[in-house]
Chain A
C-alpha cells in the first residue's frame, strides 16, 4: 500500500480524504499547513501527494515544486475548485499526474488514486 500525504487548508476536507483512502489500506497523513506537510515529506518517503491548489500561504503548485525537489519520485494529484482547462493544464504541466475536481467524489478520487499509483 502507498504512503500518501493530503494537504488542504480546510482540515475537515483533508481528514475526509484521509478517511476515504485509509479505508483502502493506504498510509495517509493529512495536513493543513504547507510547511508541516513538506517537513513530513523530508522525514518520510511519500509515494503520493494530494494537494489543494488553493492553500493558506502558498499555492498547491508551489508546494508541488518544492516537494519535487525533496522527493522527485513522489506522484501528485491536484485538487481544483473548478474544472478549468487552465488549472488542469497548469497542474499537469508542473508535473502533477492527475487532478480531481472539488467537491471530491469518492469513486472519482479512488479511481484517480488507483490510476496514478498504478502508473
Chain B
C-alpha cells in the first residue's frame, strides 16, 4: 500500500511511533555504549585494587617465603568473587610460588603479562583471550622499601561485566518498547481526535458535492455574539445563527467591528466574541466551510431566482411578440431564420418550428426569395435601418405592409443579423385615402361656400325680379309661366347656396352650460312662422325637468334647425313635426324603446324630431348622414352630415329610425305614412363638470386646415 493511500489517522500514528522509536534508538545506543564502557572500566579498577591489595599483603609472606600463607591468601582472594578466574604469586626471578589452578599451571601465562616500567615497578593490565572468554590479567609488583620481592598476578573474567552490560541493554530495550507502546496508544487517541473533525469536513464536502447545502459543519457557539454584545440588531446577518461565526461573515452590523478588510482578524483578537468562540485551525476550517456552503446556497438561490426572472421575462417577451399582429422575424447573414413570432408564422401558414433554421430560398418561391434576399443584403451591406411600404399578395388578397429592417450588430459593430418587422397597413392606407378624399371634399366645400356667398346677392335679385315681373304679365300667358320657371329654379339655387354656406361656415366654438329645451324653443320660434306658411305645425313635448348640458348653443341650434328643415322638406304637403325631449338614464332602452341602447356612463338627454312624411327607405337609412347624400333633389346633402359632425363633437350620437316609432307619430294625421324620427343623444352635464371642457375641438382644428 502506498503511503499516500494510508488513512490520515494511520499516518499520524505511524509518524509518532517512528519519531519515538528513532528518539529511543538514538538515546539507547550511545547510552548503552557509554554504560558498558563504564562497567568494563569499573571492573578493571576493581581487579587492579584487588591485585594491589594482594600485592601489599603478600610482601611479608614473600619475605618469609611462607608458601602456605601465600596459598591461603590467594585462595581467599579467589573466593571473593566468581569473576576471579585465577591468582598466583611469582618471586623476583619469575618463579611461581603459589597459584589457584586445580589442573596444573598454564606455563603460557607467565609470559602473557608482567609489571611495566623500567624497573618493573608499575602494575600492568593485559587483556587475554582464553578462547571461551576474555580475561584481564593484572600484574602488580610486590615490593618492600623499594626492594622488589616478586609479582602478584590476578586473572579477572570479563564475563561478569559483560553480563552487567547485557542486563543494562535489555533494560534499555524494554524501556524503549514501553515508550513505543505508550506512544502508539497516545498517538491513536490524538490522531482520532484530529481526524474526527477532518472526517466530519470530508462528509460535509461529499454532501455539498451531492448538492445538499443545508449543513452545519461548525459546532454551536459557546456563547452567541448577540448575547455577548447585547446588541439587539436583528437585521445583522450574524444575528440568530448559533453555528456561524460573525468574523467569517460579510456586512455584520456590530458597532465594535472595524470595517471589513481594514484590520482583518487582528481586530477580532481583542473581541470577547472571538476570544470566547475561536477554535483551532481545523475548527476554523470547518467554520469557513460552513460559511462557504451558506454563501454558496444563497448565491445559488439568487442564481435560481435570476434564472426564474429571466425565464419569466423571456416568456413575457415571447408573449408580447406573439400577441402583436405585426410580423416579426430575425435572420442571420445567410438569410436563415433564427426566430419568428406567431404572426409571421401564421402569415406563411407554417409553424415556428418549420420556419426557424430554414432560409428564404427554402420558404419562398424563387422569384420572391430572390427579392427578399436582395432586400436583406441591402440592409446588411448598408448597415442602416430601412423602411418601406410594400404591397404583398396574401391568401386574403393583396395587402399593404409597412416593413422595417434593422441590422443587428455584434460587439464589434458589424451587422450579423437582421430584424424585420412588417405591419399590415391596409386599413391605414384605406383610411388615409378616405382622409384625403374628405380633405378634398372639405376644400371643395369651402370653395363652394365662398362661391355661394358671392352668388347669394345676385341670386336674390334674379329671384326678386322674376317674382316682381310676374305681376306685370297676364296670368296664364307663356311669359308668366317662363317667369315662374325662373322663380322655381332660382329657389332651387337658393337652397343649394344655403346648404353650401352651412357646410362651409366657420365660427369659433364656444362652450357653456345650456338648457336643451330653451335652445329647441328658440329655434322653433324662429321657424314657426315660416313653417306655418307651408302648413307645417310644430308640436313640442319637452320634459321640463331636464338637467343642463355642456355644449355650443350656436352649433346645437344649427342641428335643431337642420332637423326641422329636414322634417319640413319631408312633408311638402304640410303636416306635424313632433319634437320631444326627455332624460335617458344610463343603461336604459334605445331610442323609441327599440333601437340601440344608451351609451354607458352618466345620464343622457334625448331630443327627438319626428315627421309624418314618406319615411326613409332602408337602403337610404345608412347613408343619410354621408356628405352630399340627398334624396330631395333640391339639397346639397350637407345638412344632416353637418349635424352628425356637431353631435359627435359634443360626445353624443345621432340616429334615424324609419318608420317612426308609433308613440312619436302625430296623432290623427297622415295615418298611412311611416314618417321618420331623428334621435339626438347628448351627455348631461355633470354637476361639477368644467364648462370649458372642449368636446368639439376637432371641428375647429379641421376647419382651420387650408
Q: Name A residues whose Cβ lies closer than 8 Å to a Cβ of B.
A: 10, 12-13, 16-17, 19-20, 23, 81-86, 88-89, 101-108, 111, 115
Contacts and interface: CB of A to CB of B under 8 A. Distances in A.
B558 A85 contact: yes
Contact of A10 (B457, B526, B554): B457
Given A85-B554, A104-B464, 5 more contacts: A13-B460, A16-B464, A16-B468, A82-B502, A104-B460
Contacts of B458: 12
17 contacts: A10-B457, A12-B458, A12-B461, A17-B464, A19-B464, A20-B468, A82-B453, A83-B498, A85-B558, A102-B457, A103-B460, A103-B462, A103-B494, A104-B464, A105-B467, A106-B464, A108-B530
A97 B557 CA distance: 21
Interface of B, secondary structure class, is: helix
Contact of A102 (B460, B462, B468, B526): B460
Question: Size band of the B side of the interface?
Answer: 20 to 34
Contacts of B523: 85
Most buried by A among B456, B457, B463, B558: B457
Interface in B532-565: 533, 553-554, 557-558, 561
A102 B494 CA distance: 8
Most buried by B among A20, A23, A88, A105: A105
Contact of B533 (A13, A89, A104, A111): A111
A13 B461 contact: yes
Contacts of A107: 467, 533
Contacts, number: 81
A19 B530 CA distance: 23
* Leading 4 A-B pairs by shortest Cβ distance: A103-B460, A106-B467, A16-B464, A85-B557
Contacts of A115: 529
B468 A23 contact: yes
A108 B471 CA distance: 16
Contact of A103 (B459, B468, B526): B459
A115 B529 CA distance: 10
A10 B457 CA distance: 8
B457 A13 contact: yes
Given A82-B501, A84-B505, A20 B557 contact: no
A10 B454 CA distance: 12
B96 interface: no
A81 B459 contact: no
Interface string B150-164: 000000000000000
A82 B498 CA distance: 7
A53 to B, nearest CB: 12
B505 A85 contact: no
A107 B558 CA distance: 24
Given A82-B505, A103-B490, A88 B526 contact: yes
B522 interface: yes
B275 interface: no
A86 B556 CA distance: 12
Nearest to A86: B554
Contacts of B463: 103-106
Contacts of A84: 505, 554, 558
B464 A20 contact: yes
Nearest to B497: A103
B507 interface: yes
Contacts of A104: 460, 463-464
B461 A10 contact: yes
Nearest to B556: A85
Contact of A16 (B461, B507, B529): B461
B25 to A, nearest CB: 133
B467 A20 contact: yes
B491 interface: yes
Interface string B433-463: 0000000000000000000010011111111
